[in-house]
Amino acid sequence: MHKHELSVLLSLKEARKLSFGELLERSGLSADEARWALSNLSEAKLVETESVKADSASLTDEGKRYAKEGLPEELLAERIARKPVALRELSGKEEQIGIIWAKKKGLAVIDNGLLTATQEGLKTRAFGTAAGRLLAELARDADAFGRAKGGEAAKELLERGLIEASGKEETRSISITQKGMLELAKERQAESYIDSLDRNAIRGRLWAGKKFRPYNVEAGIEAEVPASRHVLRNLINEMKQAYTSMGFREISGPVIEPAFWVFDHLFVPQDHPARDAQDTFFLSAPESIKLEDRDLVKAVKEEHERAWHSQWSQEAAEKAVLRTHTTSVTGRYIRDAVEAFREGRLSLGQPIKVFTIGRVFRNENLDYKHLADFYQADGIVIGRGMTLSNLFSVLARIYSSLGVRVKFKPSYFPFVEPGVEVQIKHGGDWLELGGAGIIRREITGVDRKSISVLAWGLGVERIALIRHEGIRSIVSLYNNSAGALRESGA
C-alpha cells in the first residue's frame, strides 16, 4: 500500500468520517496527493466518498475592483442624476464602458451631446442594479453563483468578463469501510511493497524480495490548461505570413508622431474633423515635435495652401499625437522611395511591396466593433502603370488566404484618389475594414505615369469577429480574464 493511501486510512481510523479539508489537516497530504490516494482507495472499496456538484464563481481583477466601487454604469448614473454631463467630458475608459451599459440598461439617454439620466437612472446608485448586487454578493460568497446561475445578472457578469464560473465535483465527506479497517490491520503488508525507486534503494538492493505496487494509470488528476498564444497574436502572425508569402517586406515606425506625418503629409486639411480632440489623442508631454526637414515642410505647406485655399500652420503640424493610423509609417516610406527614385538610387523594374502592422489610437466610443486602441495593417505597392484592378487583386489574395471574403465600394479618403472602402462579411452584414486606393500626386510629388502607389489601411480586430464564433465583440479581445479567452476559442 502506498504511503499516501496509508496516511488516509490512518487519518480515518479514529474519526471514521471526515470532510476533505479535515482529511488534509490530519494527514498532512496535499490536495493532489489526497485525491490520488482516495481514487485508489475508493476503487478498492476501502473508503466511501460522498460528492456534490458545486457551482461557484471567482471574480476577475476588473470584477474585484467593481465589487468594491460599483459598476461603471451605476457610478455614472449617480453622477448624471445630479446634473447632465457633456459626452466630451466622459473620455475615460471606464466612463466609456459606463455609457454603453447605462444606455443598454435604460439608465441614461444622449440628447444634444449631453448624457442625461432617465427615471430609472435617477433611482440608481452603486450596487443598485441586479448585476451590481450579485457582484458584491459574490465577493463575499463564491457559492452564491450556484443560486443565481442562469439568471440575467449572472449572464451579464459572465459576458462582461467580471467573473469566471466553475463547476466541479467536490468531496463532501469520506468514511472508511469495514474492508478498509481490515486492510489497515495488515499494516505490515505495506512493508512488502516497493512504492518508488530512488538511488539508495537501487544501490542497496532494498527492492530484493519485495513486490512492486501496481501503478494506476487511470487515477484522476486536476485538469491542466496548456499555455497558448492569444487569439489576436495568432491572427497577426498569420497576417504577417500572408504578406511575406506574397513578397512584402515588413517595416515599422513610431507610435508618437507630429501631426505632420499623421495628417499634413497625407494631404489631410488642417480643418478636417479627424484632427479634432474628439477624434484624436493630443499629447501634453511632449506637446510638440519639431520638424527638421525644411524642404519637405515647405513643399507640403505650398501644396496645402494651393489646394485647400487656407493658411497652413507649422505649429499645428508639430503638435504631438498618438498616431491614428499606421499610414504615417508607410507615408514616410513613400517619401523616401520617391526621393531615391528621383536621385536615380531606386529602379522600379519590379514593384516594391512593404507592410506594417501596429497599434493605433482614436478617441472612439466603445462598442462591439469599435475600440480606442487597436491594431491596423497598412500596405503599399510602389511601381509603374498600376490601377485599382491591381489593388483589388492584391487585397483579395491576401484576405482569401486568411479565410476572409472582401468587397470594395467607392469612398473618399484625403490621401488617395480614387478611393475605396474595404468591407468584410460578418453574418448577414458587411463591416467596414478600412480604406484603400491610389496615393495622390500631391503626396508623392510625381506624376502617376512615373510612379503609382497602391495603398491601404485596414483594421485587424474585426477579422477576429468573423474568424471566431465565440468572439461577439472586439472589446472582449482585451479582456484580462483567462477563462473568458479560453471560452472564446483563444
How do 163-176 and 47-59 pair as beta strands?
Answer: antiparallel
pLDDT, position 467: 80
Mean pLDDT of 282-311: 92
Mean pLDDT of 68-85: 90
pLDDT tens sequence across 316-330: 999 999 999 999 999
Would you identify the CATH topology of the domain 3-58+167-212? Answer: Arc Repressor Mutant, subunit A (1.10.10)
Does the structure show a pLDDT above 80 at 212? no
Give the highest mean pLDDT range of 141-155, 170-184, 187-201, 287-301.
287-301
Does the structure show a pLDDT above 60 at 395? yes
Of the listed ranges 42-56, 66-80, 338-352, 368-382, the least confidently predicted one is 42-56
pLDDT, position 33: 85
Rounded to the nearest integer, the mean pLDDT of the chain is 85
pLDDT, position 264: 93
Mean pLDDT of 105-123: 88
All CATH 1.10.10.10 domain ranges in the chain, comma separated: 3-58+167-212
Dist CA 21 CA 173 (whole Å): 9
Give the highest mean pLDDT range of 20-29, 144-153, 406-415.
406-415
Mean pLDDT of 164-179: 76
Does the structure show a pLDDT above 70 at 486? no
pLDDT, position 477: 77
Does the structure show a pLDDT above 70 at 168? no
All CATH 3.30.930.10 domain ranges in the chain, comma separated: 232-255+323-487
pLDDT, position 42: 86
Mean pLDDT of 355-374: 83
Does the structure show a pLDDT above 80 at 297? yes
Name the more confident of 133 and 13: 133
Does the structure show a pLDDT above 90 at 246? yes
Would you identify the CATH topology of the domain 232-255+323-487? Answer: BirA Bifunctional Protein; domain 2 (3.30.930)
Name the more confident of 66 and 142: 66
Give the highest mean pLDDT range of 286-290, 370-374, 467-471.
286-290
pLDDT, position 191: 55
pLDDT, position 170: 63
